[in-house]
Amino acid sequence: MRPQTLRGRVTGVTIEGQLPVRFREPAAWLREFAVHTPDALALRLGGSLATGPVDEWSDLDACIHVVPGTERRVFDALLSGLDRDWVFTDRWVLEPPVRQEGLQVFGRLAHEPGGTRLVVDVEVEAVPDGGVPIDPRRHGVPIVLHDPDRLIRVEQEPDERLAADARTSARRIADRLPTARWIVEKAIDRGHWPEAAAYHLRFGVDPLVQLLRTVHCPSRWDFGLRYVHADLPAEDVRRVLELLPGDSDGLARRSRAAFDWQDELLTGVLTPGR
């Protein structure tokens, strides 16, 4: 399939525009899949394409909205099509009970072995009653590639609902704060550094960032450490970074070592008869 100009719709207005070159062909393929799959009602692109900015590490994030009850059938057809038309590798499928709503697959696409690989993240979700509202504060403005019934609409979630969810979570943080502090400090006093570091991130840093988001970026109160540089004041970001264990310069080396070790161990753990 040749790269092509894609037609999309944002906030109800038909637009013509070109995606970055490396996204055009797989996006066109997804659009053709949605158009020719009867139970696929709409297709939108999100991620960096919706929130900006797009960089060389950006994935192609897409969501196919389907008739309720057809998620599995459409998802299986999607996987079959990807296997048929692309070199589709490093597949990771998320489904219930891991993923509560819909089905999702991550993978890498290339037309030929050894070709440039693009990471894709495709979700298949049922259309809820009333259509598909997308809050641009949380998810950016979607690029809609297929939506004949105009199910996708860009609108903000009620601030009251977001505030209520944030307060409920903040109360849970308050309820466990004395115990959480004790759990971390006990591990430190025992000299159990691995346990202490894990608890520090889980009970110390993550809730702290959530509370900072509730104050400074309430629409994305639950986004964790993602986009902190964009969402929080620079001084708060600096203080949060100082709380992270380890040094950022050595993280790439440590990450490679951890995943290489996982790969080595999995060879033995998953070998039949062991």
From the list 130, 74, 127, the residue with the least C-alpha distance to 103 is: 74
Tens-place pLDDT, residues 7-40: 343 333 333 456 888 999 999 999 999 999 999 9
Q: Is the pLDDT higher at 101 or at 190?
A: 190
Tens-place pLDDT, residues 221-252: 999 999 999 999 999 999 999 999 888 888 99
Query: Which amino acid is located at 164 in the chain?
Result: A
Instruction: Say if residue 163's pLDDT is above 60.
Output: yes
**What pLDDT shows up at residue 193?**
94
Instruction: Say if residue 3's pLDDT is above 70.
Output: no
* C-alpha span between 194 and 114 (Å, rounded): 39
Q: Judge residue 77's burial from the number of C-beta atoms within 10 Å of its C-beta, 0-12 exposed, 13-18 middle, 19 or more buried.
A: middle
| Same domain as 150, residue 163 | no
* C-alpha span between 46 and 138 (Å, rounded): 11
Domain end call among 122, 154, 186: 154
**What pLDDT shows up at residue 271?**
84
Residue in the structure block whose two tokens are 């964790």: 224
| Same domain as 232, residue 183 | yes
| Same domain as 211, residue 95 | no
Calculate helix-pair angle for 71-85, 21-35, nearest 10 degrees.
130
**What pLDDT shows up at residue 187?**
96
| Same domain as 142, residue 15 | yes
**CB-CB neighbours of 8 under 10 Å:** 21
Would 268 be classed as within a structural domain?
no
**What pLDDT shows up at residue 272?**
72
| Same domain as 195, residue 137 | no
Q: Judge residue 259's burial from the number of C-beta atoms within 10 Å of its C-beta, 0-12 exposed, 13-18 middle, 19 or more buried.
A: exposed
Would 270 be classed as within a structural domain?
no
Residue 256, domain extent: 159-261
Tens-place pLDDT, residues 198-207: 999 999 999 9
| Same domain as 145, residue 65 | yes
* C-alpha span between 29 and 8 (Å, rounded): 14
Domain count along the chain: 2
**What pLDDT shows up at residue 30?**
97
**What pLDDT shows up at residue 274?**
59
| Same domain as 172, residue 131 | no
Please provide the average confidence, as pLDDT, over all residues in the chain: 90
Percentage of residues of the chain with pLDDT beyond 70: 91
| Same domain as 185, residue 143 | no
| Same domain as 47, residue 106 | yes
**What pLDDT shows up at residue 98?**
80
Question: What predicted TM-score, i.e. pTM, was given to this entire model?
Answer: 0.85
Instruction: List the strands of the sheet with 103-110, edge to edge.
Output: 13-17, 6-10, 143-146, 40-45, 60-66, 118-126, 103-110, 87-94
Domain end call among 154, 180, 203: 154
Task: Please report, for the domain that includes residue 140, its CATH number.
Answer: 3.30.460.10
C-alpha distances in angstroms, 206 versus 57, 225, 241?
25, 7, 12
**What pLDDT shows up at residue 100?**
75
End-to-end CA distance of the chain: 46
Quote the distance between the C-alpha of residue 17 and its chain's center.
24
| Same domain as 120, residue 224 | no
Phi, psi of 46 (to 5 degrees): -135, -140
Instruction: Say if residue 50's pLDDT is above 70.
Output: yes
Domain end call among 126, 154, 182: 154
Tens-place pLDDT, residues 106-148: 999 987 776 678 999 999 999 999 899 999 999 999 999 999 9
| 67 touches 84 (CB < 8 A) | no
